[in-house]
Amino acid sequence: MNQHRGASRRASLSVLCGVIALSLLLTAAPAEAGRASCEAFLDLRQNNSGQFQYTVDINSDRRRCERDRKVTIWHDENRNGVLDEGEFVIAKGRTNNDGRLQLVADVVPPIGDWVGVLVKQTPKCKEFSDSFKFQGFPE
């Protein structure tokens, strides 16, 4: 009879550990689900002095997810949307209150190459990362 109680206690403990683990997973999931998503748009133009102006506009359903966001622009050589070791960072900055970042740089990737844009995650906003194919400058 004591062996039965011991097995019963181990089974109860096992079930309890499973319930605790499941509750931890369920409490962690809403934290990500509660973050607002965003998307970024990149515009690249050459100014009169021959420098290149990168403009990133961030759109989100939550205004706070547009302003004061950290943005990294890089030459995404393998077009995977991830800033990998050895890839060249073109510029970094923060968006203004309207969700816009304008930076001037002396470099531009070759036509047909990809430019990556990374918008860092915040406690209330999801990270965004994507690559855009550079088609050249508008005529």
Given a contact cutoff of 8 angstroms between Cβ atoms, the answer to whether 41 and 88 are in contact is: no
Q: Looking at the predicted structure, is the pLDDT value of residue 9 above 70?
A: no
For residue range 90-127, list pLDDT tens digits in order. Answer: 999 999 999 999 999 999 889 999 999 999 999 999 99
Separation between Cα atoms, residue 9 and residue 15, nearest integer Å: 10
Given a contact cutoff of 8 angstroms between Cβ atoms, the answer to whether 128 and 42 are in contact is: no
Average pLDDT of span 69-83: 93
- Can you give the pLDDT at residue 14? 44
Given a contact cutoff of 8 angstroms between Cβ atoms, the answer to whether 89 and 73 are in contact is: yes
Average pLDDT, the chain: 81
Residue 93's closest CA among 116, 118, 61? 118
- Can you give the pLDDT at residue 6? 54
Whole-structure pTM value? 0.73
